[in-house]
Structure 1
């Protein structure tokens, strides 16, 4: 998942600038002295401006962000005070130049709030979010400023070309979408809504990791862990020790509804405990109940859409996406649902029938049983288990000989580890990204291991985005949540975790290979239903034989995975694939259901769970066996992130990704000329062209072809 959408406070123009040169003469007053003592308020002296985490402390963020706001406020005031007629140079370009201090500090701050949220960082965030939200409203509702932007848009747009024209369009539209054309009264209400929603999203985001920790399932007797491998049992012991040792072992709840560990646990009662802990982690039965936050956000979003003249929030949100409106999104989803349902029903019946062979005809399959018996069926049908292939997926080997190798073969990139650049956590790694001509392209940071201070899931973002106008190379990072092996043992990952590494690196390539003039348009600054395409496409490299054979090697012997085992695993990838599609469809339709409501239709917190069930029942997706990938109460993409009314984008973008992969396959999946064409026509373009044109320029298709999606999923 890409997180450039998550933090919307620092938008289009809340981008950008080095401290004023006038400060270089030395500390003359308290403010200047603070600047010298706070490393965030100075451009880093490390190569490419990499964050100097050896000097940055939690106490530095708030004053640096305040200083960044002050600086950009002064810069915008100067633009507004300009007596000359508004032009692209003195208004649009001046805005693009502004705010570099705020941008730089915010990029670092929002990384640590997600990945290393100490109590000190959380306290700072409680103050920072309202400050940034209020400043965003201050800028977007500054009528004198907007009138200058509008003048350029109305009078000069036709004479502008390329990125200059696109930048003007995007900045103008960002102000209009924020409400710059509203009446004063409606603007005031929008500011109130924005401020309150930002606070609520922060509360939701803070609650989820705490709820996850509180939902940890403690296990007293190792016998209860029967079915797990020795390595998994050791992990349960390590997790228990790191979480306070309430019992000798524990099972950590991951961010999705279903828990992968359920595929191995023989103890049905423990499977039930784990599943119940997962689905109830944030509802009214537990300490952390997010429903009051959710219904308030939903109501405020619906009101915001109403003020902006849209029927509902989904209509407002999708107006700026490839899908254009919720009707198109629903039409796309309903076609998938119609094809999916019979497959899902047959899949469930087959699993239950299989379980009844050993458990008796009266056995009723429950959702916490599904993964367990499906895994047994898979092992029986393909004659292999996940534990057999895991020794061939050492995380370090997957990264270097898989993820990096594919990028080298497709795009000519090489990666050199850096040990001199500091990180915010000791487990992180940093790499130089070198182009085929030997030129440095980017820095890449990876933070793969879970810890209590990190939220669940996996994502990509940037400490700095690429911009030739700023002379800035991209500094990109990936964050995941894999269980780190006990000291002295290699970290072995599952196939799903392998593909997640490729996925997030696909987002990373979108940022690293960006070749744009302006920060506002570069890298992953595209709509949600396009941004997931490069990442989902990059997953396809994981199973290409040349790539697979290069990284799938036994961690002890370095022997490649035996051909027979490899074929069994790869042939099994679409086994019982209806589940994966179904959980995604359910989450997607739940998201859209919440965001197609008017303010008066939003249910109470007490009725929120019932609302989700009714919405899924109405569209034909209420299925006890295949619950949403994220239930409403812990759906961070929607309530804590920037994917509100946009979770459909994963499936929408998957269609684009399948089309791209098909085009690669026709020309040779590791053919450098094909990779270079994709890099030039897609990955380098950011948001500098219409997204459908970017897609068409590479694939030759006039529109996405959805026919391949079900085939690619084995359905």
Structure 2
């Protein structure tokens, strides 16, 4: 290591405070974190050392100003851990996890700081504060109370120990999953085994094989969720079976990457932490500060949807079996997607795999995703080739408002690689705050297979949906306009955060958007009108399966996290526990596997969705109701976009999200549009 200054500790010099990723090395991170920890600790100590009575300015505003360096270093680092988790970065993350946990606890459990915030909270009714400032007092007071700031010294020490151990375990879970996912990538010797895939998909599989030293062979990497997009196309049943079997066995084998003991300990320690905080379960502790409010409310919604979803899935299975009978096949899980496309073709004369030539990635991005946002919100997105992301494949775009003013940066990391975790996600690298004078920098990560050089990237309709979905999160992060860093970007309740992203999916088949981006890669012909009609007609098709697999994963999450400490302390057989949970809610159809099984359920055991995976369907109630509103009010207009931006997206976390929804919609959301969308209204 040279004596050159640590770039993480230098004042931001790039536009929008974009981190200087080109000069950051893995060995820079830990020293920067240690300095940032010390800096914020000193800032908080200065708050609590004051002899003057607590005021909003000398306590809450001072707390919001603290930790600027830590926030910058953290967002820079955690962007890389998920998207380019090299062995060196993973080693840093393992060392950092307990240090970060200890630092957070030292502040969240600081009795002197909590006393000052409580003092301001007690006089809140007499203070002349704007709405966001009042909400800041309420949130800090509630969050510290829920975190355990009111516990005694011994309880706080135990809580700190639990949090540190959990931070190590969740990091281990993700590391195991990434390693086993890479190990279980399926190797095929002959292109005939991959019959049904397009040229681009074969090219990607060959390229992956070459990168692993397997020239002349084909490697199919695994997606985060149980199913795989190729299952709908592969004509070779054994290839389908191998692919699904590999997916379902991730981190559940007796090897160094086995996540079963890891998740058992996570569940037990989360239950112990909840008990320490006075809650009967981890889910109760988490949901106390979400819009749902309680595990009972979540269970009520999931059970209400599960029975009709399972019934619809059984009807769908019967339809698949009628076609499979002609092939002499008894439908199994690895056959579902393949025969679903046969039924879709028979019922709607629709082959979704054949649509890929109309979904060239660059055109979908510029003429679809960006174009929809430009039409709706007036923003303009232009690529900045002079700015560098954290990996050579990352692209950087600048976003301007309709009046030409600067809004922020958007980064796109489209392709899969061995150092990237599965799935798709958005995160903020820099967050907007009027107090700090910062503008947003956000990134979208996907896991699209990269074809050979010179070959166009053709997306599936599901991947098009993911691109629109994640950009909905990006818009939320870009548009949130707040004073205090605590409320920046997508810092909203977990069961509200998926709402803006799901709404953004509505533009995929909107006529003027679809006609602008869905053009054939060779002929530039638009997607034929009759195909579009059939796509609309088939929107509720296979929703029994889709809803069932999602609800199954949500129920597993709730089952794990509604355990009491005594229940969680038992020697749990992970597979048996999961099977019993699915039987309890009637989603134990072996042909319809859960979207995520426990050992690779990263949302829950290494992400931020523990006891919160229900959030997608909870948010979808709002989403479906919002889509109905747009349809009733003229659809894709600047007036509608501005209303949605300013009354919902722009609020960030600075107010009650359900109050913001009522301000936008004029009433609370109704569930009927969701039931109709998913074919559950009957």
Matching residue of 1:185: 154
Distance 2:340 2:480 in 1: 42
Residue 66 of structure 1, CA deviation: 0.7
Matching residue of 1:338: 307
Matching residue of 1:113: 81
Matching residue of 2:550: 584
Residue 604 of structure 1, CA deviation: 5.8
Any conservation in 2 of the 1:157–1:165 contact (CA below 8 Å)? no
1:231 counterpart = 2:210: no
Matching residue of 1:673: 639
Distance 1:632 1:705 in 2: 32
Q: Secondary structure at the match of 1:254?
A: coil
1:48 to 4, 7, 16: 16
Distance 1:678 1:233 in 2: 42
Any conservation in 1 of the 2:252–2:599 contact (CA below 8 Å)? yes
Residue 286 of structure 1, CA deviation: 5.4
Q: Deviations over 1:526-548 (max 9, x none)?
A: 11111100000000011111111
1:153 to 121, 127, 130: 121
1:261 counterpart = 2:230: yes
Distance 1:73 1:688 in 2: 25
Any conservation in 1 of the 2:200–2:456 contact (CA below 8 Å)? no
Aligned 1:617-632 pairs, distance under 5 A = 617-632=583-598
1:281 to 234, 250, 257: 250
Q: Secondary structure at the match of 2:508?
A: helix
Distance 2:153 2:413 in 1: 45
Distance change (3 Å), C-alpha of 1:228 and 1:48: closer
Distance 1:615 1:158 in 2: 50
Give the TM-score, by structure 1 length.
0.93
RMSD: 1.6
Residue 712 of structure 1, CA deviation: 1.3
Distance 2:343 2:491 in 1: 43
Matching residue of 1:708: 673
Q: Secondary structure at the match of 1:528?
A: coil
Distance change (3 Å), C-alpha of 1:260 and 1:604: farther
Q: Deviations over 1:316-348 (max 9, x none)?
A: 101101110010111111111132222111111
Matching residue of 2:191: 222
Distance 2:510 2:126 in 1: 46
Q: Which moved more, 1:436-445 or 1:228-237?
A: 228-237
Distance 1:453 1:140 in 2: 33
2:71 to 94, 100, 103: 103
1:291 counterpart = 2:260: yes
Residue 468 of structure 1, CA deviation: 1.0
Residue 565 of structure 1, CA deviation: 2.6
1:306 counterpart = 2:275: yes
Distance change (3 Å), C-alpha of 1:287 and 1:244: farther
1:513 counterpart = 2:467: no
Q: Which moved more, 1:141-150 or 1:419-428?
A: 141-150
Aligned 1:31-46 pairs, distance under 5 A = 37-46=5-14
1:376 counterpart = 2:342: yes
Any conservation in 2 of the 1:219–1:247 contact (CA below 8 Å)? no
Distance change (3 Å), C-alpha of 1:243 and 1:599: farther
Q: Deviations over 1:294-321 (max 9, x none)?
A: 0101011111111111111111101101
Q: Deviations over 1:192-238 (max 9, x none)?
A: 11010000000001111111111111111222222222322222211
Distance 1:601 1:112 in 2: 37
Q: Secondary structure at the match of 1:168?
A: helix
Distance 2:602 2:209 in 1: 25
Give the TM-score, by structure 2 length.
0.97
1:163 counterpart = 2:132: yes
1:91 to 59, 67, 70: 59
2:578 to 609, 612, 615: 612
Distance change (3 Å), C-alpha of 1:101 and 1:376: same
Matching residue of 1:3: none
Aligned 1:122-137 pairs, distance under 5 A = 122-137=90-105
Distance 1:606 1:271 in 2: 31
2:43 to 46, 55, 75: 75
Q: Secondary structure at the match of 1:441?
A: strand
Aligned 1:513-552 pairs, distance under 5 A = 513-552=479-518
Distance 2:465 2:44 in 1: 44
Structure 1 residues without counterparts, runs of 5 or longer: 1-32
Any conservation in 1 of the 2:194–2:236 contact (CA below 8 Å)? yes
Distance 1:286 1:662 in 2: 50
Structure 2 residues without counterparts, runs of 5 or longer: none
1:439 counterpart = 2:405: yes
1:212 counterpart = 2:142: no
Matching residue of 1:352: 321
Distance 1:247 1:314 in 2: 49
Distance 1:190 1:146 in 2: 16
Any conservation in 2 of the 1:448–1:482 contact (CA below 8 Å)? yes
Q: Secondary structure at the match of 1:674?
A: helix
Matching residue of 1:57: 25
Any conservation in 1 of the 2:498–2:615 contact (CA below 8 Å)? yes
Residue 406 of structure 1, CA deviation: 0.7
Aligned 1:619-658 pairs, distance under 5 A = 619-658=585-624
Q: Secondary structure at the match of 1:438?
A: coil
Q: Secondary structure at the match of 2:154?
A: helix
1:504 counterpart = 2:470: yes
Residue 603 of structure 1, CA deviation: 6.7
Any conservation in 2 of the 1:291–1:605 contact (CA below 8 Å)? no
Q: Secondary structure at the match of 1:387?
A: helix
1:417 to 383, 399, 421: 383
Residue 288 of structure 1, CA deviation: 2.1
Distance 1:604 1:372 in 2: 40
Q: Deviations over 1:573-618 (max 9, x none)?
A: 3322211101000000000000110122127666111001001101
Distance change (3 Å), C-alpha of 1:490 and 1:412: same
Distance 1:149 1:473 in 2: 28
